[in-house]
Structures are given as C-alpha cells and as structure tokens.
Amino acid sequence: MLAEGRNPVKEAVLGNKSIDKIVVEDKIKDTSVRETVRLAREKKIRVEFAPKEALDRLSKTGHHQGIIAVLSDFDYTPLDEVLGGFGRRFFVVLDKVTDPHNLGSVIRSAECAGVSAVIIPERNFALVNETVIRTSMGAISHVKVCKVKNLNDAIKKIKDSGVFVYVADMDGESMYKTNLTGDIAIVVGSEGDGVSSLTKKLADGVISIPMKGKLNSLNASVAAGIIMFEVLRQEG
C-alpha cells in the first residue's frame, strides 16, 4: 500500500505508521518534502532517491508530488479497543459507502472533529487504499478505523457499552433539536441507499440535517461532516 504526496507521507511519518521505505524524486527541491525526508531519517526509515519516471511507474494515483511512502498493510483497530477507551467516545459508523473518496473525506473530517474512531463493515464497502489515504490528506494516520464483520452486531455492541447511537436520515428529527452530547455514535449511509431499515430499528434515534433546497440528499461525506461538527458545537 502506498501513501502518495507531501501531506499523506508526512502524516504517515508523524503518525508512526509502518513504513517500509520512502521514495523521493532525486531532483526535487520542495522544502516540505525535504523536511519529511529529515523526519524519516530521524526515525530510521529507509529513504531512496529515484528519477521522476520511477515514481510515475510506482504511483497508483498519479499524484505523488515527488514523494511516495511504501506502507505495510493498513492496521485496522479492533472495535473492543475503542469501546473500552478512556474519555468521551465519539464514533462515526458508515453503512453502504462504497466510494473511497467519500471514506477518505469522512476520515479527514473525523480527525478535525475529534472523532474517536470510524467504523466500517468489511464487505460491500470501501476499504482503506491509496485513494482513501490521499483523499484524507494524511488524516488516516491519526484516526482509528475499525473494520467489523457485521455492522448491526457492532451497533448492538456499541449500545451495550453505553454509547447512544443515532442514524442520519432525512425523516429524522432535526439534529439542532437533538441532544448530541456525551458518548455518541452517528450512523451515515450512502446518498443512494441510505441506512438499512434494520439498522434504523437498532438505533436510539434518527436525526436529520434541515435543508431548504429541492434536493433531498447530500453526499455521504458532506452529510457526515455537517453532523460531526454539530456534535462538536454542542460539546462547546
């Protein structure tokens, strides 16, 4: 797996992700790239220099910006680990979100909003790959991602741990009228299918984002971001 570009590689180094090596364009003069190389060497990470053409061949996104980190497989965090964490627990659960760009954007917003973990199902879903890493702009190195076999079983477990679970749906109560403080999990589905009916039944409540336009749905990552920052606002 690869992290490509200035921010994703730097954040991978800062986040102590398992990096096999970093490949840098041999003629690059970018100061931020040079700073990342310095940090990598301090952490004893192998750094190789190569012609731009070599990075072009290695790249999977086509946007390497002169630096690529070769990573070990992504290390998902066990759900039990985040459920038993200290302090406030704030989770984002994604259902039927298959676009890696959406997953990357959600992770980026989650890092900014102080989310404890992003929880995803292992089947029929976008898993962490090069596109997710790049779209997250390096946030993936600082956000825990839990991959679960069955989403509804995971939601039951989350509730049993004392976390309130809310599903985002256009028919729910306005999020501005809902108390979103304390330990909380927000379930967001795809803009096409939304959240499954069984998942809605399992949840403690259903919330919506008030809208005035003619369209009745938002992109999944946009909706998730809006709700995350409403939760953050209510926490003060």
Which residue reads 């803009």 in tokens? Answer: 191
Distance CA 54, CA 14 (A): 25
Neighbours of 92 (CB within 10 A): 27
Query: Which domain covers residue 9, as residue numbers?
Result: 2-71
> Model-level pTM greater than 0.75?
yes
Which residue reads 């005035």 in tokens? Answer: 212
- Same domain for 113 and 53, yes or no, is no
Handedness of CA 59, 131, 30, 44 (dihedral sign): negative
- Same domain for 47 and 92, yes or no, is no
Distance CA 234, CA 178 (A): 10
- Same domain for 218 and 118, yes or no, is yes
Distance CA 68, CA 49 (A): 10
Q: Are 166 and 218 in contact (CB under 8 A)?
A: no
- Same domain for 175 and 92, yes or no, is yes
Which residue reads 């996104």 in tokens? Answer: 61
- Same domain for 159 and 90, yes or no, is yes
- Same domain for 66 and 84, yes or no, is no
- For the chain, give the mean pLDDT: 92
CATH of the domain at 25: 3.30.1330.30
Q: Of the residues 41, 71, 101, which one is the last residue of a structural domain? A: 71
- Same domain for 66 and 93, yes or no, is no
- Same domain for 92 and 185, yes or no, is yes
Q: Are strands 90-95 and 117-121 parallel, antiparallel or unpaired?
A: parallel
CATH of the domain at 144: 3.40.1280.10
Tell me the per-residue pLDDT of 16-73, one tens digit each, with 9 for 90 and over: 678 999 999 998 989 999 999 999 999 999 999 999 999 999 998 888 999 999 998 7
Q: Of the candidates 143, 134, 153, which has an alpha carbon nearest to the alpha carbon of residue 10?
A: 134
Report pLDDT for 107.
96
- Same domain for 225 and 204, yes or no, is yes
Q: Which helix (H) or strand (E) holds 228?
A: helix 220-235
Q: Average pLDDT for residues 73-97, to the nearest whole number?
A: 90
- Same domain for 40 and 115, yes or no, is no
Distance CA 140, CA 10 (A): 12
Q: Of the residues 47, 71, 95, which one is the last residue of a structural domain? A: 71
- Same domain for 43 and 149, yes or no, is no
Number of domains in the chain: 2
Report pLDDT for 194.
78
Report pLDDT for 190.
81
- Same domain for 100 and 204, yes or no, is yes
Angle at 94 between CA 88 and CA 98, to 5 degrees: 150
More confident of the two residues 165 and 213: 165
Show Cβ contacts of residue 233 under 8 Å, excluding neighbours closer than 6 positions.
none
Radius of gyration of the chain (CA): 19
pLDDT value at 228 more than 80: yes
Q: Of the residues 52, 71, 90, which one is the last residue of a structural domain? A: 71
pLDDT value at 86 more than 80: no
